[in-house]
Structure 1
Amino acid sequence: MSVVQQLHCAPRYNTLRPVEDTERGVYRCHMHADLAATPGRACFKTALINEILHYQQALADRLRFDQQDGGRHSISHIVLASDSDVFNLGGDLELFCRLIRNGDRNGLLGYARQCVRGVHAFHAGLGVGAHSIALVQGDALGGGFEAALSCHTIVAEEGVNMGLPEVLFDLFPGMGAYSFLCKRIAPHQAEKIMLEGNVYSSDELYRMGLVDILVPRGEGEKAVDDVIRSNQRIPHARAAMHRVRSMAQPVTLEEMMSITEVWVDTALQLGDRSLRTMERLVRAQYRRHGDLKEAGSRG
């Protein structure tokens, strides 16, 4: 079978572009596929979240069937990447503002819970022992950084910016940041990062231990392939290490759901000043991706 035959793209999604190499057990999820044709914000819009969750579940079911059928003898890999010039700019601030102004706790909690389910699935290897890799070739902010942190391995290219700026509007990142940061650095360092709201370069995060592999611009894809080849040489050891990690450093879905309720209740207390800051960031996101009409209509 040729490489062209092995690689195929699932056509049923709008915001997500999955590319699968089933022979090697490599499944790539490219976010923001819709932005290639139309301008918009490269954030976790509801449609993107829903498509990620749908793909995760469908892929997990297939891999589970393969394992039961004895057809998969090597470890599978799921790679989270982006079709945009950024990895992901985080939560849908435009939606947040509307829900907070309307006092819609159920709407905000429903959105947050969907986000938590998505990042927890990457952290848990889809429940089938898959190895998750974040390929960060553009900025990852807020929830985008949380998504990268949820993966087992973070591959980042040099010069990329990442951070948790939610404190700018008096909020904290509540969809996994604390839980995932504390698996990589000390809790007091995690709190410092969350409360100072600084944006760091990928080079700085590599030195801090928050990025696993740092490579020059344009070499991220090759680095991901190197990680996959390395893991496939030791599939049993890698699979066992995932089990050991989940025992020694568990991050449960229940823990994350409880934390995100604190996030929702905190968000609903935000005043007009904080919401105006969010709205300014939304306009900046529109301008960044060329949607000047949308940015102007919100100005």
Structure 2
Amino acid sequence: MSMIDSLPLRRLYSTIRVDSSADHDVHWLYMHADAAPGVRPCFRRPMMVDMHQFLDSISREDQRRPGRLQHLVLASDAGAFNLGGDLEVFSELIRQQDGAALLRYARSCIDGVYRFHQGLNGDFRTIALLQGDALGGGLEMALSCHTIVAEEGVGMGLPEVLFGLFPGMGAYNFLCRRVSPQLAERIILDGRVYSSEEMHAMGVVDVLVPRGQGEQAVRDLIRQQQRIPHSCLAMNAVRRLSNPVTYQELLDITQVWVDTALALGDKSLRTMDRLVRAQTRRSAMDHA
């Protein structure tokens, strides 16, 4: 193989950065490639569009390698992994009582977590690499992956209860496949931010490594799994059969989330607004 053949293939998007191996067996998707002061590292709609387009591109029939193990790694170019749903959008749509738009946003989110949980077409092992905080929907996306690799000192939590909501895009479903339902409910209702060390002790984080060693840990994990490709692909199928998270289940819970959001009052909306300002300040500090 020549040096050129071994270089990663890159695709250009405005909000994400993607590196793909020359054989298309390993893909790294970095969120927030447009990170800049004032750009909040959350699930902004343009980034969600880019992410879905990329997932579509590697799921197409002409890109598929049936029966061959592939890997998709979800990471971030920002100081945070992901701070969750776009609270500015939520606040605006709730004030307008636009439930249809809220549901469209939520469905885009569950489309993403469902695809990561399924391993796209079943041939992928998905890995979340947490080198910065994962909150709300950001943590839900990480939980949907087959494996969570986190560096020490990362904050992980579901703070939606602070403004009267709950994490409605898969948190309970995916947590219950890692911890007991009682613990999952406590994590959601506590609304506190846990450390990655605490989450590892509870069984939520699969691999915990020191700061700066996350990418290498992911590469090591991929090499280990590539030695046993048929076993990993079989485990994907077993997971779907023995303890499935169905799309309809996610959709039904999302409707509960929309109904709850539309019932929020001014106090909750003002809390959202304060969190948006805090996220914006945090983004500015990360780029100072």
TM range (shorter): over 0.9
Counterparts in 2 of 1:38 and 1:289: CA distance versus 1, 3 Å = closer
Q: Does 1:161 align with 2:155?
A: yes
Q: 2 CA distance for matches of 1:3 and 1:254?
A: 46
The one-letter amino acid paired with 2:58 is L
Give the superposition deviation at 1:3.
5.4
- Within 5 Å, give how 1:52-63 maps onto structure 2: 52-62=51-61
- Within 5 Å, give how 1:248-263 maps onto structure 2: 248-263=242-257
Q: Does 1:210 align with 2:204?
A: yes
Q: Does 1:241 align with 2:241?
A: no
- Any gaps of 5 or more consecutive residues in structure 2? none
The aligned counterpart of 2:279 is 285
Checking the alignment, whether the CA contact within 8 Å between 1:64 and 1:128 is kept in structure 2 is no
The aligned counterpart of 2:91 is 97
Counterparts in 2 of 1:24 and 1:45: CA distance versus 1, 3 Å = closer
For the residue of structure 1 that corresponds to 2:60, the secondary structure is helix
Taking every aligned residue pair, what percent have the same amino acid on both sides?
Answer: 55
Q: 1 CA distance for matches of 2:279 and 2:254?
A: 24
- Any gaps of 5 or more consecutive residues in structure 1? 68-72, 293-299
Counterparts in 2 of 1:3 and 1:117: CA distance versus 1, 3 Å = farther
Checking the alignment, whether the CA contact within 8 Å between 1:60 and 1:128 is kept in structure 2 is no
Q: 2 CA distance for matches of 1:149 and 1:64?
A: 26
Give the superposition deviation at 1:58.
1.1
Q: Deviations over 1:150-203 (max 9, x none)?
A: 000000000000000000001000001010000001111111111110110000
Counterparts in 2 of 1:19 and 1:201: CA distance versus 1, 3 Å = same
Give the superposition deviation at 1:10.
3.5
Q: How many residues align?
A: 286
Q: 1 CA distance for matches of 2:150 and 2:143?
A: 12
Give the superposition deviation at 1:9.
4.8
- Within 5 Å, give how 1:71-220 maps onto structure 2: 74-220=68-214
Q: 1 CA distance for matches of 2:47 and 2:99?
A: 21
Q: Does 1:43 align with 2:42?
A: yes
Give the superposition deviation at 1:22.
3.4
Counterparts in 2 of 1:3 and 1:148: CA distance versus 1, 3 Å = farther
Counterparts in 2 of 1:63 and 1:153: CA distance versus 1, 3 Å = farther
Q: Does 1:22 align with 2:22?
A: yes
Q: 2 CA distance for matches of 1:132 and 1:66?
A: 16
Checking the alignment, whether the CA contact within 8 Å between 2:9 and 2:22 is kept in structure 1 is no
Query: After TM superposition, what 4+ stretches of structure 1 lie above 2 angstroms from structure 2?
Result: 1-12, 62-67
When normalised by structure 2's length, the TM-score is: 0.95
Counterparts in 2 of 1:2 and 1:94: CA distance versus 1, 3 Å = farther
Q: 2 CA distance for matches of 1:16 and 1:22?
A: 19
The one-letter amino acid paired with 1:55 is F
Checking the alignment, whether the CA contact within 8 Å between 1:57 and 1:126 is kept in structure 2 is no
Counterparts in 2 of 1:226 and 1:24: CA distance versus 1, 3 Å = farther
For the residue of structure 1 that corresponds to 2:222, the secondary structure is helix
Give the superposition deviation at 1:24.
6.4
Q: 2 CA distance for matches of 1:138 and 1:63?
A: 35
Q: 2 CA distance for matches of 1:135 and 1:214?
A: 10
Counterparts in 2 of 1:10 and 1:169: CA distance versus 1, 3 Å = same
**Greater RCO, CA 8 A, separation 6+:** 2
Checking the alignment, whether the CA contact within 8 Å between 1:39 and 1:291 is kept in structure 2 is no
Q: 2 CA distance for matches of 1:193 and 1:61?
A: 37
For the residue of structure 2 that corresponds to 1:200, the secondary structure is strand
